[in-house]
Amino acid sequence: MEPIYLLEAWKVREMLLRRELTPREVLQAVWERVREVEPRVNAYITETWDAAEEAVREAEKDWSQGKDPGPAAGLPMAVKDILCTRGIRTTCASLILENFVPVYDATVIERLKAAGLTMIGKANMDEFAMGSSTENSYFGPTRNPWDLGRVPGGSSGGSAAAVAAGEALWALGSDTGGSIRQPASFCGLVGMKPTYGRVSRYGLVAFASSLDQVGPITRCVKDCALLLQLICGHDPKDSTSLPEGVPDFLASLEGDVRGMRAGVPRELMGEGIAPGVKRIVVSCFEVLEDLGMKVEEVSLPHLDYALDAYYIIAPAEASSNLARYDGVRYGLRVEGEDVLDMYSRTRARGFGDEVKRRIMLGTYALSAGYYEAYYAQAQKIRTLIIGDFRRAFERCDVLVSPTSPTVAFRLGERLEDPLAMYMSDICTIPVNLAGLPAISVPCGLDQGLPVGFQIMGKLLDEVTVLRVAYALEQALGFRARPDSSKGVG
Ligand code: GLN
């Protein structure tokens, strides 16, 4: 049998329910694995042994009284260090928040705690979620468990690496422009960004508030559906949270996909997609056809401008959101001559290069003379992209594409070239701009490294996205596990 730390969360849950395992044994297995591989992977910023211990103690007490401690109990989870956790420092991988200890839990954490959350650590990430490689972390880069010389993707790279390496059974990430799906793709995992407003952003440290969503990173589609179920739903504490009811995601997996239409946006299959990635993605189209789906090319012409629009809108929102880190209320303060000097010293020292780059880009785009030329234009493009999706979904049930144009790249390869780094997000950004749900499913290996298949859905139609993802996963029968030649097998 596979080691416990590599099992799907739902399987471990069944074993716990059948009393074939105890929460303590699971935690022990995962913990030993962390001790073994973490020095090489660096998936965590803060290991939360005490919180995990306490959760397990609670769970065992419940079991012994014949009570079910909940669907997340005894299933060690990595939580991206952008989600506020009461009493546990939440750094966003930034020096400026190095010692910030929130006094409240994010809503998703609160909900998961009610379901028995066993949090094993706060996962590494790009500083303030800005990046696609987890190299922009004050706490050093995370390495890809498949090949330690490569990046795990980002910005939720620590979450993905933890799950791929067996340092957690599942994880939470956040996705503003691909930060759940791209690392899931690079690490051979399932990652989903829900519809904007499905999951509360309360307690999620804001990067670009009109784009940010929390979502699962898991080993299989079923785990993804289970975790999604636990975090979705209306939250009065988030004014953008949707009032819609939450369907039963698990029940939706088994439904038939026969007769459904999948559109392939031409704009996401062209130049820049690595030949190996393209080949595997195209072979998945055939699998979908064998399942009775119709796969056809569609065009969303304004996707060609999605990256440009995103890299105006996201920095603009970030420049405003990050204004709060001024040395007064949060974290780091560097004293100066007067209060203005204190602000600028604090921010100069506290933020890394990429964060400063975004703040400057965003401030520039929003400044009086340039607002119309940049920010307003970008918003118009955003509206056109929403229209493109609406038209495509009149014909199609889902849209499909690669998740990332390439497999995981080498550490350092794109650090000096921000544009090359930004190009990593070309396939993932469009749904963030349109607020739509999308998933990445592992679909094969190119040069020994995982490739992700992206399925995008209509607004609030996670059910169809998950159903197609599950059908594809079952039909492919592809299980991705790193080995020890270059990674941590
Ligand atoms: N890589 C993109 C960026 O740097 C997306 C990040 C994210 O989704 N948080 O902005």
CB 471 within 8 A of CB 291: yes
Of 132, 179, 404, 440, the active-site residue reads 179
Catalytic residue at 155?
A: yes
Active site residue 80: yes
Judge whether 222 counts as a catalytic residue. Answer: no
Side by side, which strands form the sheet with 261-265?
Answer: 44-47, 119-123, 77-80, 170-175, 213-218, 190-193, 438-446, 449-457, 398-402, 261-265, 294-298
Q: Which atom of ligand 1 is nearest to the CA of 310?
A: 10
Determine the Cα–Cα distance for residues 340 and 391; give it in Å rounded to an integer.
Answer: 50
Tokens 């304004």, residue?
Answer: 302
Q: Is the CB of 130 under 6 A from ligand 1?
A: yes
Instruction: Give the atom of ligand 1 at the shortest distance from the alpha carbon of 154.
Output: 1
Cα(179)–Cα(177) distance, rounded to whole angstroms? 6
pLDDT of the residue at 163 = 98
| CA 178 / ligand 1 centre spacing (Å) | 6
User: What local confidence, expressed as pLDDT, does residue 418 receive?
Assistant: 87
How far apart CA 62 and CA 47 sit, in angstroms, is 25
Which residue lies with its CA nearest to atom 4 of ligand 1? 131
Per-residue pLDDT of the chain in tens (489 residues, 90 and over written 9): 799 999 999 999 999 999 999 999 999 999 999 999 999 999 999 999 999 999 999 999 999 999 999 999 999 999 999 999 999 999 999 999 999 999 999 999 999 999 999 999 999 999 999 999 999 999 999 999 999 999 999 999 999 999 999 999 999 999 999 999 999 999 999 999 999 999 999 999 999 999 999 999 999 999 999 999 999 999 999 999 999 999 999 999 998 999 999 999 999 998 889 999 999 999 999 999 999 999 999 999 999 999 999 999 999 999 999 999 999 988 899 999 999 999 999 999 999 999 999 999 999 999 999 999 999 999 999 999 999 999 999 999 999 999 999 999 999 999 989 888 998 899 999 999 999 999 999 999 999 999 999 999 999 999 999 999 999 999 999 987 898 889 998
177 C-beta closer than 6 A to ligand 1: yes
Query: How many beta carbons lie within 10 A of that of residue 217, not counting itself?
Result: 35
Tell me, in angstroms, the distance from the centre of ligand 1 to residue 372's CA.
Answer: 24
Q: Is the CB of 355 under 6 A from ligand 1?
A: no
Superfamily covering domain 4-260: Amidase signature (AS) domain (3.90.1300.10)
353 CA → ligand 1 middle, Å: 15
Helix (H, G, I), strand (E, B) or coil at 227: helix
pLDDT of residue 420: 86
Expressed in percent and rounded to 5, the helix, strand and coil fractions of the chain are: 45, 15, 40
Task: Please give the Cα distance from 175 to 310 (Å, whole number).
Answer: 13
Q: What are the extents of the domains in the chain?
A: 4-260, 304-380
Name residue 83's beta-bridge partners.
Answer: 204
CB of 179 within 6 A of ligand 1: the answer is: yes
Q: What is the predicted pLDDT for the residue at 419?
A: 86
As a three-state string, the secondary structure of 44-112 is: EEEECHHHHHHHHHHHHHHHHCCCCCCCCECCCEEEECCECECCECCCCCCHHHCCCCCCCCCHHHHHH
Place of tokens 């197609």: 468
Two tokens at 358? 């975004």
Residue to substitute in 83, 179, 357 for testing ligand 1 pocket (most ligand atoms within 8 angstroms of CB): 179
Q: What atom in ligand 1 is closest to the CA of residue 207?
A: 9
